[in-house]
Amino acid sequence: MGKVHDQILPRRANNSNLADYGQAVAYFKWEDVERQFTWYETGKVNMAYEAVDRHVNEGRGGKTALLYSDSVREESYSFADLKEKSNRFGNVLRKYGIGKGDRVFLFMPRQPALYFSLLGILKIGAVAGPLFEAFMETAVKDRLEDSGAVALVTTPELLHRVKREELPELRYIFLVGGDSDPDRGLISYDLESASASVELEPEWLGLEDGLIMHYTSGSTGKPKGVYHVQRAMVQHYYTGRVVLDLRDDDIYWCTADPGWVTGTSYGIFAPWLNGVTNVVRGGRFSPRDWYSTIERNRVTVWYSAPTAFRMLMGAGNESLKGFDLSSLRHVLSVGEPLNPEVIRWGDNVLGQRIHDTWWMTETGGQLICNYPGMDIKLGSMGQPLPGITAAILDDQGNELPPYSMGNLAIKTPWPSMMDRIWNNPSKYEEYFRIPGWYISGDSAYMDDEGYFWFLGRVDDCINSSGEMIGPFEVESKLIEHPAVAEAGVIGIPDAVRGEIVKAFISLREGYLPSDALKDEIAAFVKSGLSAHAAPREIEFKDKLPKTRSGKIMRRVLKAWELHQPAGDLSTIED
């Protein structure tokens, strides 16, 4: 280790120019990255082995891997501890007949057991499916049902949101902090792990065998199960080095929950593949809590998101008083456009330039980034990493010249590219409709120095606080409410969250518009789907604009909202 960084991307002085970058690209070979892995020699692949066991076998077992804290606990675990705990849970899963390729989901708050059990799932070759703890009944059921999960790891507090009677394939539920109840298929994670063996031979896999699933929202239909395979580790490891710039003595903190892809690719895999100490903070966001997490742990590399930075910014410099953030040496952002004013705030208040990174659940890892040594243009997502080719294409697949707006596309393949959309090959094909390219669904342009600039989503997806929300899913939930006849959902601009969800609703006969009804409808979505999907604004309308085929025209809703002309209305109903 260490070699690869120098080989494929020479560390450059600040303000170095693009000539170096060109050189790095010319020398770049994915094979040089692959050489860093045990499997390159042995032919045996397992993500959990590479991220954990390898460090123990190579004499780094005593190094701190996980620094966990919340308002009541503060715990630290070495790589040897992670190996032992994941081996124990891997053995528990095997005892219940769970193995290679089975989907095992996780539904619990950030806590050490989430990380142990996820690694245990990977050790035995099963595919992990982490769910965000704020998901409510319908969101949990949809994902477990679609994935055909055979087991779930959760807590007694969240168990009531799991509709077991509607999930025939779900055989076992492992309860963290709960008792076994064999008649109900409930198994105590703690008791069984405690009595399981600490020895385990990992399941040896191929590079194309399953790793992890994350559900992400599209503009139509239910959320899609984005399925990643073992080879993604090549990208996680590489970007951990060249984008996160991780070094041996770093203390790294990624604020994302493993329920989202950032919380696994960069909250688990990238730091641990690189053998770096990883901070996990449980509980809810507050500026003082976050600043003190940086101070107490002496965090050096910090990966977060624009909404979080904007909230810190909004809390004012008062909230910073008394905190020493001087340990920070590298700060990064992902998930939404990073406003120049936030970068300036970072310069002034954190004393660090915030580095934007662009990627998606489907891409599995970072692709277009601002990385150390590169000249940052405020407001640009940066440049494609060495090994990655990006372009702006028109709808026919022609490459467009600089400054033309079009589809942001990536040349296929790259190591962490999704392998499939679970149960939905036609959705998968849509991304690759132009031969040789992955079409991201983002529109962007490139400048004449090869920097990419984000413009928006091509589809109707809403990006609120970095979380992608599919309008269709919210509309489907809304019309389950007895008062709602029709609903159309769009994103509207918001200073802190980027966008928020707004619903236009027409009511059924016998219901009258009122603020109380708005609150009730919002609460209905919140308790059925999740808080982040619930509309923060609702407007009642007598009628919603529809196409002749009955599709609600979100484009017209958006024009109403922004007081803009509605454009071509030739397909509208009346």
Q: Which is nearer to ligand PRX, 154 or 357 (CB)?
A: 357
Q: How far is the CB of 181 from ligand PRX (least distance, A)?
A: 36
Cα Dmax for the chain: 73
The three state secondary structure string of 61-126 is CCCEEEEEECCCCEEEEEHHHHHHHHHHHHHHHHHCCCCCCCEEEEECCCCHHHHHHHHHHHHCCC
* Binder of ligand PRX out of 139, 150, 233, 261 (CB under 6 A): 261
Q: How far is the CB of 313 from ligand PRX (least distance, A)?
A: 17
Q: How far is the CB of 433 from ligand PRX (least distance, A)?
A: 16
Q: How far is the CB of 257 from ligand PRX (least distance, A)?
A: 12
336 forms part of the interface with ligand PRX (CB under 6 A):
yes
Q: How far is the CB of 196 from ligand PRX (least distance, A)?
A: 35
Q: Which is nearer to ligand PRX, 336 or 486 (CB)?
A: 336
Q: How far apart are CA 228 and CA 218, in angstroms?
A: 18
Q: How far is the CB of 237 from ligand PRX (least distance, A)?
A: 17
Question: What letter would DSSP give residue 383?
Answer: E
And the tokens for 261? 């892809």
Pairing of strands 537-540, 498-507: parallel
Which of 142, 110, 122 lies closest to 259, judged by CA?
Answer: 110
Burial class for 564, CB neighbours closer than 10 Å (0-12, 13-18, 19+): exposed
The site that binds ligand PRX (CB under 6 A) totals a number of residues, namely: 21
Q: Which is nearer to ligand PRX, 134 or 191 (CB)?
A: 134
And the tokens for 203? 């399941």
The three state secondary structure string of 71-89 is CCCEEEEEHHHHHHHHHHH
Q: Which of the ranges 34-42, 86-94, 328-336, 558-566 carries the binding residues for ligand PRX, by CB under 6 A?
A: 328-336
Q: How far is the CB of 128 from ligand PRX (least distance, A)?
A: 17
392 forms part of the interface with ligand PRX (CB under 6 A):
no
Q: How far is the CB of 428 from ligand PRX (least distance, A)?
A: 15
List, as one string, the DSSP characters of 15-76.
T--HHHHHHHHHH--HHHHHTTSHHHHH--B-HHIIIIIHHIIIIITTSEEEEEE-SS-EEE
239 forms part of the interface with ligand PRX (CB under 6 A):
no
Q: Which is nearer to ligand PRX, 109 or 218 (CB)?
A: 218
* Binder of ligand PRX out of 250, 356, 419, 473 (CB under 6 A): 356
Residue linked to tokens 């609703």? 505
Q: How far is the CB of 256 from ligand PRX (least distance, A)?
A: 8
Q: Which of the ranges 58-66, 357-365, 388-396, 566-574 carries the binding residues for ligand PRX, by CB under 6 A?
A: 357-365
| Closest residue by beta carbon to ligand PRX | 361
* Binder of ligand PRX out of 5, 420, 457, 536 (CB under 6 A): 457
Q: Which is nearer to ligand PRX, 56 or 439 (CB)?
A: 439
- Pair 188, 179: CB distance under 8 Å: yes
383 forms part of the interface with ligand PRX (CB under 6 A):
no
Q: How far apart are CA 566 and CA 555, in angstroms?
A: 7
* Binder of ligand PRX out of 359, 371, 414, 504 (CB under 6 A): 359
Stretch 186-225: interaction string toward ligand PRX, x if CB under 6 A = ------------------------------x---------
Element (H, E) at 308: helix 306-314
* Binder of ligand PRX out of 91, 262, 274, 464 (CB under 6 A): 262
Stretch 462-501: interaction string toward ligand PRX, x if CB under 6 A = -x----x---------------------------------
Residue linked to tokens 């303000």? 15
Q: How far is the CB of 550 from ligand PRX (least distance, A)?
A: 28
Q: How far is the CB of 110 from ligand PRX (least distance, A)?
A: 17
Q: How far apart are CA 22 and CA 58, in angstroms?
A: 35
Stretch 523-552: interaction string toward ligand PRX, x if CB under 6 A = ------------------------------
Q: How far is the CB of 359 from ligand PRX (least distance, A)?
A: 5
Q: How far apart are CA 547 and CA 543, in angstroms?
A: 13
And the tokens for 413? 């393949």
- Pair 138, 529: CB distance under 8 Å: yes
Q: Which is nearer to ligand PRX, 90 or 259 (CB)?
A: 259
List, as one string, the DSSP characters of 427-480.
HHHHHT-STTEEEEEEEEEE-TTS-EEEEEESSS-EEETTEEE-HHHHHHHHTT
- Per DSSP, helices labelled H in 316-424 are 340-345
Q: Which is nearer to ligand PRX, 120 or 223 (CB)?
A: 223
∠ Cα 256 258 261 (to 5°): 80
Question: What letter would DSSP give residue 401?
Answer: P
Q: Which of the ranges 27-35, 172-180, 333-341, 566-574 carries the binding residues for ligand PRX, by CB under 6 A?
A: 333-341
- Pair 538, 502: CB distance under 8 Å: yes
List, as one string, the DSSP characters of 161-215.
G--GGG-TT--EEEETTS--BGGGTEEEHHHHHHHS-S--PPPPB-TTSEEEEEE
Q: How far is the CB of 101 from ligand PRX (least distance, A)?
A: 24
Distance from chain centroid for Cα 304: 11
Q: Which is nearer to ligand PRX, 77 or 431 (CB)?
A: 431
Q: Which is nearer to ligand PRX, 10 or 379 (CB)?
A: 379
Q: How far is the CB of 175 from ligand PRX (least distance, A)?
A: 29
Stretch 403-442: interaction string toward ligand PRX, x if CB under 6 A = -------------------------------------xxx
- Pair 137, 158: CB distance under 8 Å: no
Q: Which is nearer to ligand PRX, 89 or 438 (CB)?
A: 438
Q: Which residues bind ligand PRX (CB under 6 A)?
A: 216, 261-262, 334-337, 356-361, 381, 440-442, 454, 457, 463, 468
